[in-house]
A and B are shown apart, each in its own frame.
Chain A
Amino acid sequence: MKLHINGHVYDIDVPETTSLLDTLRIYLKLTGSKYGCGEGVCGACRVLVDGHATPSCITPVASVQHKEVVTIEGLAKDGRLHPIQQAFLDEDAFQCAYCTSGMVISAVALKNRNPRPSRQEIIDAMQVNICRCCAYPRIMKAISNAQS
């Protein structure tokens, strides 16, 4: 099947029921998206599918054919970090950082549809993303401060 990921076209042969997460991580070696819960409730595996932050662990790969997928690896352009990535670095908005790619993806989706989110809008958009290290206040700050 043909997949559009980070601006590339991939033609791969995997069972249709394979999760998008396994496809990315195992077949395409795009390991930035993480496994955290396997049931779409922790946010670590989130990727952009046509701009929406989507849990890739419960998304069958076949369902994203003909859609644009963007992973954490596809955000930086020409060696320049995406403003959300830069803001996470500037605010030291992580500890172990295992949740970071999913956090960044959720935040990118939020800021794309709402460049100046309120505190409550950030909470609502990010509620599915778990940071077990609880760097939450800094993640909030990074999202608020990131340039649109």
Chain B
Amino acid sequence: MDKSTTATLENTATITRRNFFRLLGGGVAVVVSQSCIYGWADSPAVGKDLTVDDDSIAAWIHIHEDGKVSVFTGKVEVGQNIRTSLAQVVAEELFVSIQRITMIMGDTLMTPYDAGTFGSRSIPYMGPQLRKAAASLRKALLEKAAKALKVPVESLRTEAGEIVHDASNSTLPYGSLTRGEKLLLPIDEEVALIAADSWTVAGTSVPKVNGHDFVTGKHQYTSDMALPDMVYGKILRAPAYGMTLVAADIEKARTIPGVTVVEAGDFIGVVAPDPQMATNALAAISVQWDASPQPSKADIFSYLKENAQQGREDDGTQRETRRVFDASENRLEHRVEVQYIAHVPLEPRAAVAQWDGSQLTVWTGTQRPFGVQEELAGAFSVAKEQVRVIMPDTGSAYGGKHSGEAAVEAARLAKAVGKAVKVVWTREEEFKWAYFRPAGLIEVAAALDSDGSIASWEFHNYNSGNAGIDFPYRARTKHIQYHPSRTPLKQGSYRGLAATANVFAIECMMDDLARQLRVDPLDFRLRQLTDERMQAVLETAAERFGWKEAKAAGHGFGIACGFVKNSYIATCAEVAYDRSDEQLHVIRLVAAYDCGAIVNPKHLENQVLGAILQGLGGALFEEIDFRDGRILNPTLSSYRVPRFSDIPPLDIVLIGRKDVPSAGAGETPIVGTAPAIRNAIADATGIKLHKLPMIPQGLKNN
């Protein structure tokens, strides 16, 4: 290597065990760790004191002697910008600048327990938790200052990280009051919080707090990490679902210099000094597999229905709903088919694992660091306290990273070879062996009374799930049921869960009922709704879209609305069908969204537009193809995701409701995209589609 190389390598920070453990004043052993590189850059050294209860201020917020603030939360950052939003609510309540705050997130050693980052829970639950901790802390600081200055607490105020006593024109920095000591006071559950209409930091578009690191390539995702002497692991996997290992010949792989083959029951992995060597070694293993019959995409919907659980006894509602349906002259039935789709997080599953005796540290991209900690403790029969899971800001998840497969694999290999091991899944592994959004079959039947109101609503969802299954409109009789089934492919959480499928089925039917009655689909919905927030998003979106205006020949308008977990979306779509080239074009989308008080408008809009546009994929073309348990399109060249050319002009109206607590926004906006486009296609062409994706082979084949 020449000099320039050496210089580059020397600039790369080296991590040693020496700087791993360090003592903090008072003799409390805390882990400072590799934080300077792999966690919270420039974070002042402080760790979770295991004797501190989670209802203590100290568990959540710490003020350092220099006035810097560390905030501890088990939530993780996957691109939803929760690192920034949560820093904003703390800055607001604590009266400190956001630049002073370091968010320490998703680290099982440093942060209070957290079930995980999913279900749009960070803003509605973690937000208030941190606000209360910050407000309690501010109150305690004021009381301390009042004592120190011998003045009434009412004569003091806080500003920019300082206590101010106007009468004597004196100030006390927060850091000087606590001198770095932990504040072991309980959080005051009744502490006064700042109302949304008085926010000055929350409610504003603070830029992504570590944005600079991302545009320069400096941020270290798990897949970028390197520890000294680290080796790379690969795991042998079956070619298809339902296959079991009969025999494996590892001799050839074992003799490759530098390669170690690790066997443990059905688990076979290899480690090597670089990933290509590990891949080659894996390929050198010859394996015999035993196959078992597996379902295929062609028969998935009958399979799901046949294998569905019987569900609860009919309490009479089903019989009554069916009776009303049968008696009606104006009725419709749909069968909606929803395919498996993949999350395709651009950073695949990745983990770096390192053992120190019986202590295990794993860095991994997961939405559930504490869940993975338990998974690891179980896998290696050690106490949870011996396992530390750290989640660096990760290359997205969308509900697809609840599990810890790569973490367990890396830890297994690391234990076997006595070195740090990194496992990064290939795109193909991510497609085949992560998990999918469930496929589902939905049967829906509805009937109208002679006055145009809904007489009966019967809704059965097989396998896809019950999120968003409630019928938001008035109905004289209704019966709604979710039937769990047996899935042939691994399935799990996904952005919005089954709400995408259920709202699609609901909103397709609502549109078709309106058309049957020859009434405007917007007016029909507004008449049947009782929730004024849903009505408001519908009216706002329709007005911005120009719903009542004339459309060009061959163009169609569609509208849909939905709600999940206290937030509301309405989406309007304009499509055009070009009969000459048989192409469907999404001309534009307009959406109105209400999630209560807005913490960061710019980041909220980013979440909303991302969800709406990600919804295009599942609406139009994304689907997993499989036959006999084999995934047939496990690559990004064969599984189509939305790209630049798929993106229509998009207009979003954010309805700020300062009188309503903030709801999470990562999920709901996705549910409006598919039904709005579907209804626009019906408007333009008369073709009524009842499947997701709608046009994987183009509209002409429907």
Chain A: residues with CB nearer than 8 A to chain B? 8-12, 15, 18-19, 22, 25-26, 28-39, 41-42, 44, 71-73, 75-76, 81, 85-86, 88-89, 92, 94-101, 104, 122-123, 126-127, 129-140
Q: Kindly specify which of B16-24, B182-190, B457-465, B609-617 makes contact with the partner chain.
A: B609-617
Report how far A25 CA is from B422 CA in the complex, Å.
13
Tell me the dominant secondary structure on chain B's binding face. loop
The 9 closest A-B pairs by CB, nearest first: A32-B217, A96-B79, A98-B395, A95-B79, A97-B214, A72-B217, A134-B613, A31-B224, A96-B396
- Please indicate which of the listed interface residues A26, A33, A35, A75 has the most CB atoms of chain B within 10 Å of its own CB: A35
Contact in complex: A39, B641 (CB < 8 Å): no
Chain B: residues with CB nearer than 8 A to chain A? 1-2, 4-5, 8-9, 12, 78-81, 205, 207-208, 211-212, 214-221, 223-224, 226, 274-276, 344-348, 393-396, 398, 424, 426-428, 602-603, 606-607, 609-614, 616, 635-637, 641-645, 647, 650
Contact in complex: B276, A38 (CB < 8 Å): no
Option from B221, B611, B616, B636 in Cβ contact (under 8 Å) with A37 = B636
Option from A19, A22, A138 in Cβ contact (under 8 Å) with B606 = A138
Report how far A129 CA is from B650 CA in the complex, Å.
20
Known A-B contacts A98-B346, A132-B614; the reply to A31 vs B220 at CB < 8 A is yes
Contact in complex: A36, B609 (CB < 8 Å): no
| Sample of 21 A–B contacts (CB below 8 Å) | A10-B8, A11-B2, A32-B216, A35-B424, A37-B427, A38-B426, A39-B637, A81-B215, A81-B216, A85-B216, A92-B606, A96-B347, A97-B395, A98-B346, A98-B347, A132-B396, A132-B641, A133-B610, A134-B613, A134-B616, A135-B606
- By a CB distance below 8 angstroms, the chain A residues around B12 are 29
Contact in complex: A96, B78 (CB < 8 Å): yes
Report how far A98 CA is from B216 CA in the complex, Å.
11
Report how far A81 CA is from B12 CA in the complex, Å.
21
Known: A89-B207, A96-B396. 17 other contacts (CB 8 A): A28-B5, A33-B217, A34-B221, A34-B395, A36-B347, A37-B637, A42-B636, A73-B218, A89-B211, A92-B207, A94-B208, A95-B396, A96-B79, A123-B645, A132-B396, A136-B644, A138-B609
- By a CB distance below 8 angstroms, the chain A residues around B5 are 8, 10-12, 28
Contact in complex: A41, B79 (CB < 8 Å): no
Contact in complex: A11, B1 (CB < 8 Å): yes
- By a CB distance below 8 angstroms, the chain A residues around B276 are 15, 18-19, 22
Contact in complex: B214, A36 (CB < 8 Å): no
Report how far A42 CA is from B43 CA in the complex, Å.
34
Known A-B contacts A34-B223, A39-B635; the reply to A136 vs B216 at CB < 8 A is no
Tell me the dominant secondary structure on chain A's binding face. loop
Contact in complex: B642, A9 (CB < 8 Å): no
The residue on B at minimum CB distance from A91 is B602
- By a CB distance below 8 angstroms, the chain A residues around B614 are 132-134
Contact in complex: B641, A130 (CB < 8 Å): yes
A/B pair count, beta carbons within 8 Å: 183
Contact in complex: A123, B274 (CB < 8 Å): no
Report how far A138 CA is from B613 CA in the complex, Å.
12
Report how far A133 CA is from B643 CA in the complex, Å.
11
Contact in complex: A104, B610 (CB < 8 Å): no
Contact in complex: A98, B396 (CB < 8 Å): yes
- By a CB distance below 8 angstroms, the chain B residues around A71 are 217
Q: Name the distance in Å between B381's Cβ and chain A's nearest Cβ.
A: 33
The residue on B at minimum CB distance from A3 is B5
The residue on A at minimum CB distance from B214 is A97
Contact in complex: B8, A28 (CB < 8 Å): yes
- By a CB distance below 8 angstroms, the chain A residues around B602 are 92
Q: Name the distance in Å between A24's Cβ and chain B's nearest Cβ.
A: 10
- By a CB distance below 8 angstroms, the chain A residues around B427 are 36-39
Known A-B contacts A99-B346, A135-B606; the reply to A76 vs B644 at CB < 8 A is no
The residue on B at minimum CB distance from A122 is B644
- By a CB distance below 8 angstroms, the chain B residues around A73 are 216-218
- By a CB distance below 8 angstroms, the chain A residues around B395 are 34, 96-98
Report how far A55 CA is from B636 CA in the complex, Å.
14
Contact in complex: B2, A34 (CB < 8 Å): no
Q: Name the distance in Å between A45's Cβ and chain B's nearest Cβ.
A: 11
Report how far A129 CA is from B347 CA in the complex, Å.
14
Contact in complex: A133, B636 (CB < 8 Å): no
Q: Name the distance in Å between B214's Cβ and chain A's nearest Cβ.
A: 4
